[in-house]
Each structure stands twice: as structure tokens, then as C-alpha cells.
Amino acid sequence: MAHLPTPEPKDQLEAILEHSLTAYHRDERHGGAKWIDQRVLDTELVPVTREAFRDADDLPSDEEVLRTFESPLQLLGEGYHVIALIEPQHRFVVKYAKHPGPVPPLAPAKPASREAWQHEHGARADGSLHPVIWQYIRTFEAYGPLAVPSRTYIADDTLVSLSDNERRALERFGAIGIVRSLGRTPRLVPINYPDDFPEDKRASEALRLSVVVVQPFVTPLADAIERALRAGDVAAARDLEARYRDFTQQLSQCGVRDSGNQPACSNERQPSSTHTSPNNLDCHSGTQFRPEQW
């Protein structure tokens, strides 16, 4: 029976440090421990993470993003946990928690749940954020540039309604720049729906948004490869395939296998043609991955 080589002490130490930092970032509670009350490493880690996030974040300024909510947004698609809206210039998408629990994109709305579709569900009655919102918030610390960077905007009135523990947990992400203010009060945003989107899943009036995730508009890898092949650029298609193989190896090293998301090229800005497209939708986890060099 073949034996795996014994890791070098330096490699073992790096692995232990990486796991410890990951646990610190994710507030993992080992052995029944409560959340980390004294975040003793934040003084060193926050400035480094903030700088890395600024380098990775290519979204417009907060002023431009918030100005977008003054006009109607177009529905882009529906995932298990979120609905994605696209702004007129197709620079970024706006996502919100669509329902208290997961709902398959093509599943009809239950008759008794009509009222639930008239609201977004980013903040819960118990003072916590919807789990999918936390997944977006924590993605950059967990995976760095392997994930599409996103910002989470929370209305000030909603932030103060959260529990003390929830607000304390958000402080670090506010210092990094991942969590930002949506303004004093929630935004009332009209939504333009395509004709074939189910009536019982539509907001009858402007939707009151208090917690939203904003991400760059990206194109699924399969679409980018198809375009390269249609243009006759076989070398470009093979290059994308090679980068994808390298990318999946990086994900595996981070402990990610079969994320349920379609990798995307961050520099591709082509519009989606149908509301059921997976483009920019995180159907299962709330994390969308992409190679940083794409």
C-alpha cells in the first residue's frame, strides 16, 4: 500500500495557520465556544483585508450605486435564495433575499405565500440577517479573489433593528468596506418584470429594499467559450478551458468542490436574454466564484 509523503513542518504550520485564520474569519465555534468576544487579530487583519478588497472591488462609487435606486430596475433572474435585478447600464446587479426559505426558481408560489413575495427578507424578525446575506458578506474573507467581490448595503433603520451580536459581527465588515449604508431608510424600487415572469411572484408595487447585495455583472464561462468558438477563436476557447482547470484546482485547495455555481468571467459584460438564466445568480450557496485573472 502506497504511503503519502509526510508534509514538511513548514507546510503543516502554514496549513494550521490558514485553518485558524479561516475559523477566526468565519467565527467557527469549536468545542462549544461562543462567538469570539475579543477579536484580538482585527487590528492586524482588517487593514490588510481592506486593502485587498479595494484592489478587487471594481464597482462604481457608492453615490452611483445608490443613485440607481431612484429609477426602476429590470429583473435579471431568480435563484433559490435571491432575486437579481440589473441596472440600466448593465454594470452591476442588485440581489435581495426573496423568501424566508429556499424556493426553486421555476417553482410556483404557494397560494398562502403571496404576501411573502411583496417584501424582501434580508433582515429577520429575530434580529438576524438572512443566511444567504451572510454568505455574501463572508465570501471575500473566506476565498479572496477566487470569488466575485460584492458589497452589502443595509439601511440605517434596519441596522439598528438587528441584535447586538449581529451588529458586532458586522463591524469588521463595515471597516473592510464590504458592508455599507443604504441610507437612513429603505429604498422603494419599482421593478420591471418580463412578460413570462409569474404574476404571483411579482411585487404589486415598488419593492421596499432594506438589505441588498451588489455585484459586478458577469458572464458565465460557458457563454464566453461559446462566443469564442462562434468567432472561430479556438485558441481563446482552449485558454479559457485551461484557466478553468487551474481555477477548479484552486477552489479544491480552499475546500470547495461542486459549489453549485457557474464560474464566470468578470470582464465579460454581456446582458442575459432570459429571466431564468443562471448569470449572476447563486442558486445554492450565495457564493459565486471566478478566476481573478479573467
Question: Within 57-105, where are the H helices?
Answer: 62-67
Per-residue pLDDT at 265: 47
Examine the pLDDT at 144 and tell me if it is beyond 80.
no
Per-residue pLDDT at 21: 62
Distance CA 23, CA 229 (A): 43
Better-predicted residue by pLDDT, 141 or 90: 90
Q: Span 73-80, mean pLDDT?
A: 93
Most confident of 96-110, 119-133, 257-271: 119-133
Copy the grid coordinates of residue 68.
Answer: 440607481
Cβ pair 287, 143 in contact under 8 A: yes
pTM reported for the whole predicted model: 0.74
Examine the pLDDT at 158 and tell me if it is beyond 60.
yes
**What DSSP line would sit under 121-145, residue for residue?**
-SB-TTS-B-HHHHHHHHHHHHHGG
Cβ pair 85, 74 in contact under 8 A: yes
Task: Tell me whether residue 76 is exposed, middle or buried, using C-beta atoms within 10 angstroms of its C-beta: 0 to 12, 13 to 18, 19 or more.
Answer: buried
pLDDT class of 283 with cuts at 50, 70, 90: very low
pLDDT in tens, 249-272: 766 665 555 444 444 443 333 333
pLDDT class of 34 with cuts at 50, 70, 90: low
Greatest distance between any 2 Cα atoms in the chain: 67
Using alpha carbons, select from 25, 37, 51 the residue that is nearest to residue 138.
25
Distance CA 277, CA 258 (A): 19
Q: Span 129-155, mean pLDDT?
A: 87
Cβ pair 42, 158 in contact under 8 A: no
Q: How many residues does the chain have?
A: 294
Better-predicted residue by pLDDT, 95 or 52: 95
Per-residue burial over 108-136, b if 16 or more Cβ lie within 10 Å, else e, is: ebeeeeeebbebbbbbbeeeebbebbbbb
